[in-house]
Amino acid sequence: LCIIDTPGAYPGIGAEERGQAQAIAYNLKTMMGLKTPILVVVLSEGGSGGALAIGVGDHIFMFENSIYAILSPEGFASIIYKDSTKADVAANIMKLTAQDLKTYGVIDTIIEEHEGLHIDPDFGIQSLKKELVKVLKKLSALSEAKLLDHRYQKYRRMGVFIEQGEKSETKST
Inter-residue contact 52 to 60 (CB < 8 Å): no
Looking at residue 6, what is its pLDDT? 92
By the 10 Å C-beta count (0-12 exposed, 13-18 middle, 19+ buried), 39 is classed as: buried
Q: Can you tell me the distance from the alpha carbon of 117 to that of 104, in angstroms, rounded to the nearest whole number?
A: 24
Q: Can you tell me the distance from the alpha carbon of 147 to that of 80, in angstroms, rounded to the nearest whole number?
A: 39
Inter-residue contact 111 to 129 (CB < 8 Å): no
Looking at residue 59, what is its pLDDT? 98
By the 10 Å C-beta count (0-12 exposed, 13-18 middle, 19+ buried), 37 is classed as: buried
Q: Can you tell me the distance from the alpha carbon of 118 to that of 90, in angstroms, rounded to the nearest whole number?
A: 25
Looking at residue 63, what is its pLDDT? 98
- pLDDT tens, the chain, 173 aa long: 999 999 888 778 998 899 999 999 999 999 999 999 999 999 999 998 889 889 999 999 999 999 999 888 998 999 999 999 999 999 999 999 999 999 999 999 999 998 889 999 999 999 999 999 999 999 999 999 999 999 999 999 887 766 766 655 555 54
Looking at residue 171, what is its pLDDT? 55
- Count CB neighbours of 161 within 10 A: 10
Q: Can you tell me the distance from the alpha carbon of 3 to that of 83, in angstroms, rounded to the nearest whole number?
A: 31
Q: Which domain holds residue 155?
A: 2-170
Report the CATH number at residue 107. 3.90.226.10
For the chain, how many structural domains are there in total?
1
Name which of 32, 52, 24 is nearest 151 in CA terms. 32
Q: Can you tell me the distance from the alpha carbon of 69 to that of 94, in angstroms, rounded to the nearest whole number?
A: 7
